[in-house]
C-alpha cells in the first residue's frame, strides 16, 4: 500500500496530466455584450450573453477542407486582452501543401473579433484552392431560432448546385402561379434549425440566397441572441451559408487562391444582443456604414416610385405625384449602341449624332431631364459596365484599325478591338461571351475601365439636369474572365479575374467622380451582395416583383432608396393589396404604371386606382431608414405584420397583411419622445390622416389602429428619437 501523501501526489499528477491532454476551456475573452471561452486548440467552446451573462455551449472553429492540424497549437496573449493561436496544417489538395493558420480573437466594445490568416509554408508550391469554412454550432437547439438576411428561407440543401459558380447554378422553373401571384415570404421571421443552403447574392432565377453575410441565433424566452457577422471588406469570391437541424451553421468560402507567399485573410465578429434580428442587422450598419449609407444631397429626392421608360411625351403630373412617383430610369437610350452612351464628338463637329436612323444629342438628353425636373420628377441616365456593342460584334474575328481613325466610335466592332479589347470576357473555352446587346465585358481591363470613366464623366458634365446614373445588368458580375488574373482567384486549376473584383476597383473611382457634382449612382442589383454596395447610392432592380429578390434588396437598402421592378399589371391581378403591401412592409418602392414602360407596368384604370389608393402610404416612408432598436415594435396576437422606419420628423409604421381584421393593436417602445409625440394613421384609399389616441406608459405607446384591406400606415410625429 502507498503512503497517503505519496498517493495524493500520484493522483494529482494523473489529474494534471489528464487536464493537459484534454482540450479544456483555457482562455476567456470579454466584451460588453458577449464573452467567449476558447479551448486549448483555439476553438470556441462556450459563450456568455446578455446582462445576466447567460452561458450557452457553442462550438466554433475554422476548417480548411483537405487539411489537418499537425503538432501542437501555440497560444499567445495579445495586449488588447485577446489571444492568438498558430496551427500548422498539412493539406492533401491538388498535391501536398503546408499552411500556417493564425486565428486571432480580440475584444471590441460590442463583439469578439475573430480573424483568420492563411500563409503558405514549406517549399514554394503552385497555386491551389480549397473551401475555407467557418463553423458555428449552437448545441441546445430546443429553444433556438435561426435568422439571416435571406430572400426566402425555404431552400433545402440538395447538393445540385454545390461548388458551382452562381452563373452555372440550376434555376427553379417558374410556373403560371409565379407569374400571376409572385411568391413572397416574410424574411423577418426567425425559423427553427433545419437543412438550408443559401448562396451569397442569390440568383435572379433561384429561390433563397442571402445578401448580408450574417448568421443569427435567437432564444426568445431568455431574450438572448448571438450573431456571426462576416466583414464585407473581405475578398470573398463566392460564399455559401448552410444550416443543419443539430444547430450547425457553416460559411464556406470558395475560389480564394492559396499557394503564394501573400496571406489570405478573413475577419468576422461574434456579437451578443437581444433576441431580435434588429440589433444584429443594426450592428452591421453601424460598423460598415459606407456599405449602407447613400452619399450626397441629391439622393434624398429619389425615395419614391419609379419607372424604366423611353416615353417622353405629355404626362398626367397630378396623378403621378399622388402615386408618389419620383424618378424615370431613362430607357429612351438615344445612344448609338451599348457602351457608347455619349459619343466622343470632336470640337466643332455637329452636336447631334445620327446612328441607324436615330438622331440624338447631349442637349436633347439634357432638355428631357430639365423638362422632368420642372414637373417635379427626376431622371437617371442609363449606364452599363459589363456589356458593349451590338450584334455586329458577335463575329469574333478581331478587326483592329489605327487608333486615330476618324469617327472610330461609329463602328462598335472596330472601336472594341482597337480601343478596349482588354475588357472582353473570355469563357473557359477561350471564346467571348455573347450578351443580349453585344458581348460581355470586364470592367477590370485598364483601357475599358478608363473608357467607362470617360463616359461617366461626360454624362456627369454634359447632362447637368439629369440626376445621376443607373448601372444595368449587375448579374454579369457573377462571371469570371478566363484570360485575366486578379491575383486572388483560382478556379479549376487556373488563374482568372472575378468580375466582382473588377467592379470594386472601378466603382472606387467612378462613384467619387460622380459625387463631385452630386450625381448619385444606382445599380440593377441582380447579384445582391453587400460587398458590392460600397459605392452605390440606391437600387433600381429587375425581378423585384419576385418576393425573394425584393427581400434581398430591402436588406441592402435599409438606408438607401430602393425601386423594385413590376413587370406588368398581371403581377397585381390576383392579390393586388397583398402585392403592394409587401413593398410597403419592406420599405421598398414599386415601379409605377407609366406610359411606355419598358417591360414594366403601364397605366390601366384598375391598376392606377390601386396605386393611387396606396400613394399616401408610400409618401409616408419618404427618406425612410430602418429602425434597429430591439423589440421596438410588436403586434398583439399577430393580427398583422408591421415594420417601423425613421423618417424626417418622426417615425412611420407600415401595418400590413391584416386580412379581414378591423384593427390591430401595436406596441412601440424603446424610442425617445413617445410621450409628447402626435399619432396619426391613414388607410389605403384615404386621402387624409386621422388622429390616434395612444395609451402611454414610460418609454412605451400602445395604439389601436383601424385597418382597411388589412393595412394602415401610422405616423409618429416627434422632434427627435433614436434609431
Helices (H), 206-347: 277-287, 317-323
Q: Please, which pLDDT band fits residue 396 given cuts at 50, 70 and 90?
A: low
Q: Pick the residue with more confidence: 346 or 334?
A: 334
Determine the pLDDT at residue 354: 76
Instruction: Give the burial class of 142: count Cβ atoms within 10 A of its Cβ; 0-12 exposed, 13-18 middle, 19 or more buried.
Output: exposed
Boundary residue ending a domain (287, 322, 340): 287
| CATH assignment of the domain containing 38 | 2.70.98.10
Query: Are residue 154 and residue 220 in the same domain, yes or no?
Result: yes
Give me the residues paired with residue 224 across strands.
219
Q: Is residue 424 situated within a structural domain?
A: yes
The answer to whether residues 71 and 82 touch, using CB atoms and an 8 Å cutoff, is: no
The answer to whether residues 663 and 707 touch, using CB atoms and an 8 Å cutoff, is: yes
The answer to whether residues 315 and 595 touch, using CB atoms and an 8 Å cutoff, is: yes
Determine the pLDDT at residue 510: 98
Q: Is residue 6 situated within a structural domain?
A: no
Tens of pLDDT, residues 624-634:
999 999 999 99
DSSP secondary structure letters along 359-422: EE-HHHHHHHHHHHHHTT-EEEEEEESSEEB-GGGGS-S-----TT-TTGGG-HHHHHHHH-GG
Q: Please, which pLDDT band fits residue 353 given cuts at 50, 70 and 90?
A: confident
pTM: 0.93
Distance (Å, rounded) from C-alpha 611 to C-alpha 580? Answer: 8
The answer to whether residues 702 and 688 touch, using CB atoms and an 8 Å cutoff, is: no
| Containing structural domain, residue 34 | 25-287
C-alpha dist (Å) from residue 520 to 299, 303, 376, 514, 599: 6, 12, 17, 7, 24
Q: Is residue 218 situated within a structural domain?
A: yes
Q: Is residue 603 situated within a structural domain?
A: no
Helices 362-374, 446-462: inter-axial angle, 10-degree rounding:
50
How many independent structural domains does the chain possess? 3
Determine the pLDDT at residue 165: 65
Work out the average pLDDT over 664-688.
96
Q: Report the range of poorest mean pLDDT among 96-100, 371-375, 676-680, 714-718.
A: 96-100
Boundary residue ending a domain (535, 565, 595): 565
Query: Are residue 348 and residue 473 in the same domain, yes or no?
Result: yes
Distance (Å, rounded) from C-alpha 326 to C-alpha 302? Answer: 6
Whether pLDDT at 117 is above 90: yes
| CATH assignment of the domain containing 339 | 3.20.20.80
Query: Are residue 206 and residue 261 in the same domain, yes or no?
Result: yes
| CATH assignment of the domain containing 673 | 2.60.40.1180
Tens of pLDDT, residues 142-166:
999 999 999 988 777 555 555 566 6
Query: Are residue 274 and residue 312 in the same domain, yes or no?
Result: no
Query: Are residue 350 and residue 452 in the same domain, yes or no?
Result: yes
Whether pLDDT at 609 is above 90: yes
Query: Are residue 646 and residue 679 in the same domain, yes or no?
Result: yes
Tell me the residue length of the chain.
Answer: 723
Query: Are residue 341 and residue 283 in the same domain, yes or no?
Result: no
Whether pLDDT at 514 is above 90: yes
403 φ/ψ sector (left φ>0, alpha ψ -120 to 50, else beta) = alpha
The answer to whether residues 681 and 706 touch, using CB atoms and an 8 Å cutoff, is: yes
% pLDDT > 70, the chain: 90
Query: Are residue 150 and residue 244 in the same domain, yes or no?
Result: yes
Whether pLDDT at 180 is above 50: yes
Tens of pLDDT, residues 305-326:
999 999 999 999 999 999 999 9
Q: Is residue 243 situated within a structural domain?
A: yes
Mean pLDDT for all residues in the chain = 91
C-alpha dist (Å) from residue 130 to 163, 255, 256: 11, 7, 8
Determine the pLDDT at residue 168: 67
Three-state DSSP string of 128-139? ECCCEEEEEEEC
Distance (Å, rounded) from C-alpha 679 to C-alpha 411? Answer: 62
Query: Are residue 246 and residue 332 in the same domain, yes or no?
Result: no
Q: Is residue 400 situated within a structural domain?
A: yes
Tens of pLDDT, residues 515-558:
999 999 999 999 999 999 999 999 999 988 988 999 999 999 99
DSSP category for residue 349: S
Whether pLDDT at 205 is above 80: no
Tens of pLDDT, residues 697-719:
988 999 999 999 999 999 999 97
Q: Please, which pLDDT band fits residue 125 given cuts at 50, 70 and 90?
A: confident
Q: Is residue 79 situated within a structural domain?
A: yes
Tens of pLDDT, residues 253-288:
999 999 877 899 999 999 999 999 999 999 999 999
- How many CA atoms are closer than 13 Å to the CA of 130, on its beta-carbon side? 18
Whether pLDDT at 575 is above 80: yes
Query: Are residue 275 and residue 302 in the same domain, yes or no?
Result: no
Three-state DSSP string of 149-172? EECCCCCCCCCCCCCCCHHHCCCC
Whether pLDDT at 177 is above 70: no
In 426-510, DSSP assigns E strands to 439-440, 468-472, 480-481, 489-491, 494-498
Whether pLDDT at 211 is above 90: yes
- Phi, psi (rounded to 5 degrees) for 552: -60, -40
Whether pLDDT at 563 is above 60: yes
Tens of pLDDT, residues 421-432:
999 999 988 889
Q: Is residue 582 situated within a structural domain?
A: no
User: DSSP 3-state assignment of 673?
Assistant: coil
Tens of pLDDT, residues 65-94:
999 999 999 999 999 999 999 999 999 988
C-alpha dist (Å) from residue 566 to 44, 49, 301, 556, 569: 46, 43, 21, 19, 8
- Helices vs strands, H then E, count in the chain: 11, 43
Determine the pLDDT at residue 172: 62
Determine the pLDDT at residue 260: 78
Q: Which value, to the nearest 10 degrees, does the dihedral of the CA atoms of residues 294, 624, 549, 428 take?
A: 0
The answer to whether residues 241 and 215 touch, using CB atoms and an 8 Å cutoff, is: yes
Query: Residue 546: which residues within 8 A CB-CB, separation 6 or more?
Result: 178, 182, 183
Determine the pLDDT at residue 11: 46
Distance (Å, rounded) from C-alpha 511 to C-alpha 513? Answer: 5
Query: Are residue 324 and residue 283 in the same domain, yes or no?
Result: no
Boundary residue ending a domain (521, 548, 565): 565
Cα-Cα-Cα-Cα dihedral sign, residues 441, 308, 327, 525: negative
Determine the pLDDT at residue 121: 86
DSSP category for residue 592: P
C-alpha dist (Å) from residue 257 to 18, 303, 496: 40, 41, 10
The answer to whether residues 117 and 264 touch, using CB atoms and an 8 Å cutoff, is: yes
Query: Are residue 644 and residue 539 in the same domain, yes or no?
Result: no
The answer to whether residues 499 and 433 touch, using CB atoms and an 8 Å cutoff, is: no
Cβ-based neighbour number of residue 237 at 10 Å: 22
Query: Residue 418: which residues within 8 A CB-CB, separation 6 or more?
Result: 400, 401, 402, 403, 405, 408
Distance (Å, rounded) from C-alpha 216 to C-alpha 278? Answer: 10
Amino acid at each position: 500500500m502507498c503512503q497517503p501523501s505519496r498517493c495524493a501526489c500520484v493522483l494529482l499528477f494523473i489529474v494534471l496530466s489528464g487536464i493537459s491532454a484534454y482540450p479544456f476551456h483555457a482562455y476567456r475573452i470579454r466584451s460588453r455584450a458577449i464573452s467567449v471561452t476558447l479551448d486549448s486548440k483555439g476553438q470556441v467552446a462556450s459563450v456568455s450573453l446578455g446582462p445576466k451573462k447567460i452561458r450557452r455551449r457553442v462550438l466554433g472553429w475554422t476548417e480548411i477542407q483537405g487539411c489537418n492540424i499537425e503538432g501542437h497549437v501555440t497560444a499567445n496573449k495579445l495586449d488588447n486582452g485577446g489571444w492568438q493561436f498558430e496551427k500548422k496544417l498539412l493539406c492533401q489538395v491538388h498535391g501536398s501543401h503546408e499552411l500556417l493558420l493564425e486565428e486571432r480573437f480580440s475584444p471590441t466594445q460590442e463583439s469578439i473579433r475573430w480573424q483568420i490568416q492563411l500563409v503558405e509554408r514549406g517549399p514554394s508550391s503552385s497555386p491551389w484552392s480549397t473551401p475555407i469554412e467557418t463553423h458555428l454550432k449552437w448545441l441546445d437547439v430546443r429553444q433556438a431560432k435561426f435568422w439571416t438576411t435571406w430572400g426566402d428561407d425555404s431552400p433545402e440543401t440538395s447538393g445540385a448546385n454545390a461548388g458551382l459558380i452562381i452563373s452555372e447554378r440550376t434555376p427553379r422553373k417558374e410556373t403560371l402561379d409565379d407569374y400571376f401571384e409572385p411568391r413572397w415570404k416574410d424574411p423577418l421571421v426567425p425559423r427553427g434549425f433545419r437543412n438550408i443552403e443559401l448562396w451569397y447574392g442569390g440568383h435572379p432565377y433561384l429561390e433563397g440566397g442571402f445578401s448580408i453575410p450574417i448568421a443569427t441565433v435567437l432564444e426568445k424566452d431568455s431574450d438572448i441572441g448571438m450573431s456571426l457577422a462576416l466583414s464585407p471588406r473581405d475578398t470573398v469570391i463566392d460564399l455559401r451559408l448552410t444550416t443543419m437541424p443539430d444547430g450547425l451553421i457553416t460559411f464556406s468560402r470558395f475560389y480564394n487562391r492559396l499557394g503564394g507567399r501573400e496571406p489570405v485573410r478573413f475577419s468576422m465578429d461574434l456579437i451578443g444582443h437581444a433576441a431580435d434580428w434588429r440589433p444584429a442587422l443594426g450592428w452591421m450598419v453601424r460598423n460598415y456604414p459606407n456599405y449602407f449609407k447613400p452619399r450626397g444631397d441629391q439622393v434624398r429626392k429619389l425615395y419614391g416610385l419609379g419607372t424604366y421608360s423611353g416615353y417622353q411625351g405629355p404626362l398626367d403630373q397630378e396623378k403621378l405625384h399622388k402615386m408618389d412617383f419620383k424618378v424615370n430610369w431613362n430607357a429612351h437610350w438615344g445612344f448609338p449602341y451599348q457602351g457608347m452612351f455619349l459619343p466622343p464628338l470632336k470640337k466643332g463637329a455637329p452636336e447631334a449624332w445620327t446612328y441607324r436612323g436615330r438622331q440624338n444629342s447631349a442637349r436633347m438628353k439634357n432638355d428631357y431631364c430639365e423638362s422632368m425636373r420642372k414637373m417635379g420628377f427626376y431622371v437617371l441616365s442609363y449606364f452599363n459596365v459589363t456589356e458593349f456593342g451590338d450584334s455586329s460584334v458577335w463575329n469574333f474575328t478581331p478587326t483592329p484599325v489605327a487608333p486615330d481613325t476618324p469617327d472610330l466610335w461609329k463602328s462598335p466592332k472596330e472601336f472594341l478591338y482597337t480601343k478596349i479589347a482588354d475588357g472582353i470576357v473570355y469563357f473557359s473555352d477561350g471564346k467571348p461571351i455573347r450578351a443580349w446587346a453585344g458581348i460581355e465585358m470586364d470592367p477590370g481591363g485598364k483601357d475599358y475601365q478608363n473608357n467607362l470613366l470617360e463616359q461617366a464623366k461626360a454624362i456627369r458634365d454634359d447632362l447637368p439636369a439629369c440626376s445621376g446614373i443607373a448601372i444595368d445588368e449587375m448579374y454579369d458580375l457573377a462571371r469570371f474572365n478566363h484570360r485575366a488574373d486578379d491575383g486572388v482567384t483560382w478556379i479549376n486549376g487556373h488563374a482568372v479575374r472575378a468580375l466582382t473584383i473588377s467592379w470594386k476597383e472601378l466603382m472606387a473611382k467612378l462613384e467619387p467622380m460622380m459625387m463631385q457634382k452630386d450625381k448619385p449612382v444606382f445599380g440593377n442589383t441582380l447579384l445582391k451582395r453587400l460587398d458590392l454596395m460600397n459605392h452605390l447610392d440606391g437600387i433600381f432592380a429587375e425581378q423585384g416583383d419576385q418576393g425573394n429578390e425584393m427581400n434581398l434588396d430591402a436588406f441592402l437598402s435599409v438606408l438607401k432608396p430602393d425601386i423594385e421592378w413590376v413587370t406588368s399589371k398581371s403581377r397585381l391581378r390576383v392579390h393586388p393589396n397583398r402585392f403592394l403591401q409587401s413593398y410597403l412592409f419592406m420599405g421598398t418602392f414599386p415601379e409605377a404604371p407609366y406610359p411606355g414602360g419598358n417591360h414594366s407596368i403601364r397605366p390601366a384604370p384598375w391598376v392606377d386606382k390601386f396605386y393611387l389608393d396606396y400613394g399616401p402610404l408610400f409618401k409616408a416612408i419618404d427618406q425612410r431608414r430602418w429602425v434597429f432598436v430591439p423589440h421596438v415594435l410588436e403586434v398583439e396576437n399577430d393580427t398583422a405584420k408591421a415594420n417601423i422606419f425613421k423618417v424626417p420628423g418622426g417615425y412611420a409604421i407600415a401595418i400590413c397583411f391584416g386580412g379581414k381584421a378591423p384593427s390591430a393593436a401595436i406596441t412601440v417602445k424603446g424610442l425617445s419622445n413617445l410621450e409628447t409625440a402626435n399619432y396619426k394613421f391613414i388607410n389605403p384609399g384615404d386621402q387624409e390622416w386621422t388622429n390616434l389616441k395612444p395609451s402611454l406608459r414610460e418609454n412605451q405607446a400602445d395604439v389601436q389602429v383601424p385597418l382597411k384591406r388589412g393595412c394602415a400606415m401610422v405616423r409618429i410625429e416627434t422632434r427627435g428619437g433614436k434609431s
